Chains A and B, each alone.
Chain A
Amino acid sequence: MAWKIDNEKCLRCGACVSVCPELALELKETGIVHDAKKCTLCGICEKVCPVRAIEVKK
């Protein structure tokens, strides 16, 4: 079980944040911040990412 982001690919657009039902993601100046305690690994963020920088494994 894991949520992973490739920070080299990520362009910090926040598309993933906008669809996260748990508000487990936030867009900060430094990049996407993931809260593992809130994340349910639903994978919606992975699907919306325009560059597929996110990988979710259940």
Chain B
Amino acid sequence: MIKDSYDVVVAGAGPGGSSVSKTLAELGFSVLMVEKRQEIGAPKRCGEGLTMNTVDIIGEIPQECIRQKIDGATLYAPNGNHVLVDLGAEGGYIVERKAFDKWLAVRASRAGATVVAHAEVTDVIKEGSQVTGVRILVGGGEEKTVRAKVVVAADGVESTVSRKAGLNTTNKLVNVDSGYQYEMSNLKLETSKRIILYFGNDIAPRGYLWIFPKGPDIANVGIGTAMSEKPAKWYLDKFIKDHPEIFGQSSIIEANSGGIPVGGFLENMVLDGFLVVGDAAHQVNPIHGGGMKEATIAGEMAAKVIAKAIEKGDVSASVLSEYNEMWWKERGSKLKKVEKLREVVEKLSDSDFNMISESLTSDVAIGLTRGGKMYSLAKILMKNPRLVKLARHLI
């Protein structure tokens, strides 16, 4: 099934890998996408939320991948004060990653890419500085050498393939959130149409806790924390115990954990014959930790640059670096602002969160997640003289 050589080999079959593979296959290139796990999309490391503007990029998503349509968010301050954020037509979906990732891979395969699960890139082959192929452990048994003009690392947060190729993608501890999540059933939810986010230094130090409904009484209940005294799981278990009105009769139907890159964007994401996309390249929104949109966009950019480089007969880093430029222009510049916002938010005390919740509006909340409305938040912070310096960091 796996041939000796391809135009492009992609390590990892998440949204990033499938985006690269589908786009390149559609352009007529031979593509092999391998996934080390035995099942694409599982186990999930994700709250499964997808904004509508991501859907616009990906295209119409089949019904079997969608669990719940979302039209709003409720943000809870530590004192219980809450802000209703109307996402309206913007909204989004809670998807079933197990089905969604498989559908993305199926789409890539229909475009002509060869997809193989339970096949792991164990090493990257280089001739001098040029990446020329990979070693792949197929089905846990046979190890095979596959040559490629370009190798793409889309292997998720662990980002092992890049580092084996010689590109340092190691996350700094300060830039990783520890994530933990249960998929729970028999919950008492007011509505399944709104996601709920809880903030507070005792609830989720330097992060937030989420409830993403997947149905009237089913939801992903998760948490992201960083540099916290106790592990993420401890804070989530405590919250569940403290809220019997939601979780009193609930059950746990799945447990997930994960590291979430929330900053530390890479100036350089290419080598000779090599590039990296998605979580592996830290391409995640630093304020909410969502990565599917970023991986999809970056995947398409990477594919276009690779296509041009192969056609030109020059896949050197200097040609592939057009991907760096494109990404930083379109996404990096915005996400860098969001990273700044994260740095400000992580310094807020519980009383600061309470104060912000008094004045935060829907459009400011939504704008902030996209790297905008920084001045609006700064104005709110400046109401407290102690926060003036912090507010200046935003503008």
Contacts and interface: CB of A to CB of B under 8 A. Distances in A.
Given A14-B157, A23-B163, A29 B171 contact: no
A49 interface: yes
B261 interface: yes
Contacts of A27: 36, 158, 160
Given A23-B163, A28-B120, A18 B257 contact: no
A6 B175 CA distance: 25
A48 interface: yes
Interface stretch (B37-45, B76-84, B383-391): B37-45
Contact of A19 (B160, B172, B257): B172
B37 A18 contact: no
B212 interface: no
B118 interface: yes
B97 to A, nearest CB: 14
Interface stretch (B145-153, B176-184, B240-248, B354-362): B176-184
Given A13-B257, A13-B258, A29 B231 contact: no
A36 interface: no
B173 interface: yes
B255 interface: yes
Interface string B237-277: 00000000000000000011111010000000000000000
Given A13-B257, A13-B258, A47-B173, A18 B180 contact: no
Interface residues of A, number: 23
Nearest to A51: B233
Contacts of B156: 14
Interface in B24-58: 36-38, 43, 45
Contact of B178 (A20, A23, A26, A48): A48
B258 A15 contact: yes
A19 B171 contact: yes
Contacts of B171: 18-19
A28 B118 CA distance: 10
B114 interface: no
B158 A50 contact: no
Instruction: Give the interface centre of A18, A19, A27 by most chain B CB atoms within 10 Å.
Output: A18
Given A13-B258, A20-B170, A48 B176 contact: yes
15 contacts: A11-B255, A14-B156, A18-B176, A19-B170, A23-B163, A23-B164, A26-B160, A27-B36, A28-B36, A29-B36, A29-B37, A29-B38, A29-B140, A48-B259, A51-B233
Interface of B: 36-38, 43, 45, 118, 120, 140, 156-160, 163-164, 170-173, 176, 178-180, 227, 231-233, 255-259, 261
